[in-house]
Amino acid sequence: MGNRNCHIYLSDIPTGESVYITKVLGHGAFRKRITEMGFVKGKKVKVIKNAPLQDPIEYEIMGYNMSLRRSEAAMIEVEPIIEGDLQQLFHYEGIIVEETPRMRGIPKTKRINVALVGNPNSGKTTLFNRVSGSHERVGNYGGVTVDIKEAVVKFESYKMNFTDLPGTYSITEYTPEELFVRNHIGEKKPDVVVNVVDASNLERNLFLTTQLIDMDIKVVIALNMYDELEYKGIDLNYHDLGLLLGIPIVPTIAVKGVGLVALLEKIIEVYEDQDPITRHIHINYGSMIEESIDRIRAELRKNKELTDQYSKRYLAIKLLERDQSTLDRLKICSNYESVKKITESEIRRLEREYKERSETVIADAKYGFISGALLETVSPKKRETLKKKKNFDRFLTHKYLGFPIFFFFMWLMFQTTFTLGAYPMEWIEMGVGYLGKLLSTKIPEGTLHDLLIDGVIGGVGGVIVFLPNILILFFFISLMEDTGYMARVSFMMDKLMHKIGLHGKSFIPLLMGFGCNVPAIMATRTLENRKDRIMTMLLIPFMSCSARLPVYLLIISAFFPKHQGLILFSIYLIGILIAVLSALLLKNTVFSRQDVPFVMELPPYRLPTMRNTLRHMWHKASQYLRKMGTVILVASILIWALSYFPQNKELLAEYDQQIAQVELNETLSSLEKEKLVLALELEKEGTHQEQSYIGQMGKFVEPVLLPLGFDWKIGISLITGLAAKEIVVSTMGVLYHADFEADDNSHNLAVKLQQQVHTTGKLKGQRVFTPLVAFGFMLFILIYFPCVAVIAAIRREASLGWAIFTIFYTTLLAWLVAFAVYQIGSLL
């Protein structure tokens, strides 16, 4: 082991060795978070492994795994474990029972407001889904619940309003989620808080519980994943633990629906003040800390309007923890200066005594209480080692194999999206074709006929065929999230992300962006630093969302039939490359570099349930189908109307007369007649479209797009794609009039694209779509203006300025990339 000034640091410890923590150095948010995650004096830490790029490092502490960068591990002093040394360095002072009981007999209604609070990965959202029948996203990594979800549950004669709050490790002020959860509990005052606790990781999860105890609110603990606790061979007397905490505990297995009825019954008992276990206790932090709490409480008692809303003890503890938001809240009080002065005096007194920062002293005391409580309620049994899962993890995050496995998995995902999705896609295409043929025979020629066949069927039908491909893509993403592999990818990628000025945790929202950019932007809330959040938001639009997939599938099937999976994979890789280059540009221009600690839990691997996977797929399918029936349907009809009107009847009559003359010309063979008629029909249609309203719009933007090899029809497709990228395909279906009445596929949209020629300018007569133009077009779709919903999300999560910046930056970059591809490719 390394040695520096007679001190040993966690970064010096080789893989496989265990040590005791003696001191946490550093300051600010990092120090606060690291102590809350359990890195406190006396805790045993084991070095599991280095990431493939040797940084960050995975550690095991209190039965769970987390990762730290080497530079952060260098701020934790440790000492070796002497064989046979089982001394406990924590202090367990027990509890103080509140002498004044909570008021009982207050009239109750039959409506109960319930808030779900818990650590990330504790199964909170799974429990919410099971109890309420909702379909919220579930994933085995932090940050899936990025906003609150609400549902009403009717049970017995009660209506329970359930609110699923974001997952959080504590309720300090380290992340926006923590402050949000704390403010929701303090201001909304739920009748009962259900604290969802991961039974397989009790010690760390109960830290949040101690904070809820300080808040003096009604709590029920859902001891979730109870089967994992039993599997590990841990015998927990949860009844006695509940008595000690003053909180009833209900074992649950949310993923299987076990224990949920008992949980609902317990919520009612606690709400009605009929639960025998529920009582108001204080954690005994030790005589010195209790004296400090009492002195601050005495001064806070003078502010009745504040202490009616918050527990005086809770406020006093927060002040001792140097909680800035609590201090800001007290500024309205007349004795603010007095409270501040007493707090500063007590902090200095505690820090002189303990030789530690006051927030660390409180965290140490909390973990001391948790350790003591578990010693009294957990029977010592031989704990099973999950060797299979550990070997599996060692393989997936291997120094040499980790990255190839990840890239192989990504390639497999895209290849399967094509090959497996081709069969149901063909069936849906046949169904759409049959429907178009049926309607065409039933509805007489005219405006309504053209609207339904060219507008609705051509537009919506051209997009709905890609539903199977999108479901397959989300199936793979769901597997990565539910198994816990997504967090491992973040662990492996941190060093690379760090080099471009991002946090390893940024990789999770970036990867989510492959599904949909909007929830990915919302998931940036899990990043503690505002600059990291904004920078990640600006890069997410380059992650090709599923809405762009129909465009790629159409273009690739038309122009790259031999290498479909490879071309699609290359598009996604280019998006990643552009994101990397943009990050480097932004880091060195807009943002000054500011390192943020990489403190991330690595959840245990779990087998995904078919229920959750199918629910996720169905949720995405229903979203897609709703978009079919709303945005894309309206857009298709609007695009059809703009391309259909105005009707130049004189011009159309001239073409009809020429066609009639050709058909009556007996000097021509039938084959010659057919060719001439087809040429006149195409010319007639092209002339009409150019004179239509949408044609006039397209002509207006065409000069800007010609250097990219695009014609005005492509320009219109790009304009309509501002609303939603799927509309690009439906626009093409309308503009190029994909014929769904044909008995074969010779006149489908892909073939129509292959046949298109430029009608004006120096490119007149040349094919519009060549493989080069097609590739440049896909890159333009990948990079430019993501969609209105994404811009709205950036405005909401960052600011209007950043939303406007995203619009112009992405569109300009898309033009430059497509220009380079076409011009350089043409030269070569």
pLDDT digit string (tens) for 532-563? 889 999 999 999 887 898 899 889 988 998 88
Which residue's entry shows tokens 């990965």? 121
**Could you give phi then psi for residue 282, rounded to 5 degrees?**
-115, 140
Position 626 confidence tier, pLDDT thresholds 50, 70, 90:
confident
Q: What is residue 2's predicted lDDT score, i.e. its pLDDT?
A: 45
Residue 673 has pLDDT above 80, yes or no: yes
Arithmetic mean of pLDDT over the chain: 83
> 80-94, 430-444, 524-538 — which is least confidently predicted?
80-94
Give the pLDDT of residue 745: 37
User: pLDDT-derived band of residue 222, with 50, 70 and 90 as boundaries?
Assistant: very high
The band of 514, judged by pLDDT with boundaries at 50, 70 and 90, is confident
Average pLDDT over residues 361-381: 86
- pLDDT exceeding 70 applies to what percent of the chain? 89
Backbone angles phi, psi at 292, to 5 degrees: -65, -45
β 600-602/249-251 pair status:
unpaired
354: phi then psi, degrees, rounded to nearest 5: -95, -10
Beta bridge partners of 564: none
Q: Please classify residue 511 by burial: count the beta carbons closer than 10 Å to its beta carbon, then call 0-12 exposed, 13-18 middle and 19+ buried.
A: buried
Q: What is the DSSP string of 130-192?
A: HHH-------SSTTS--S-EEEEEEETTEEEEEEEPPP-S-SSSSSHHHHHHHHIIIII--SE
Residue 386 in this model has a pLDDT that exceeds 70: no
Is residue 484 within 8 Å of residue 508, measured between CB atoms?
no
**How far from each other are the two terminal CA atoms of the chain, in whole angstroms?**
58
Contact assessment for residue 270 and residue 218, using Cβ atoms and an 8 Å cutoff: yes
Q: What is the pLDDT of residue 759?
A: 67
484 has pLDDT over 70: yes
State the pLDDT confidence band at 1, using cuts at 50, 70 and 90: very low
d(C-alpha 55, C-alpha 67), whole Å: 9
Number of Cβ atoms within 10 Å of the Cβ of 571? 21
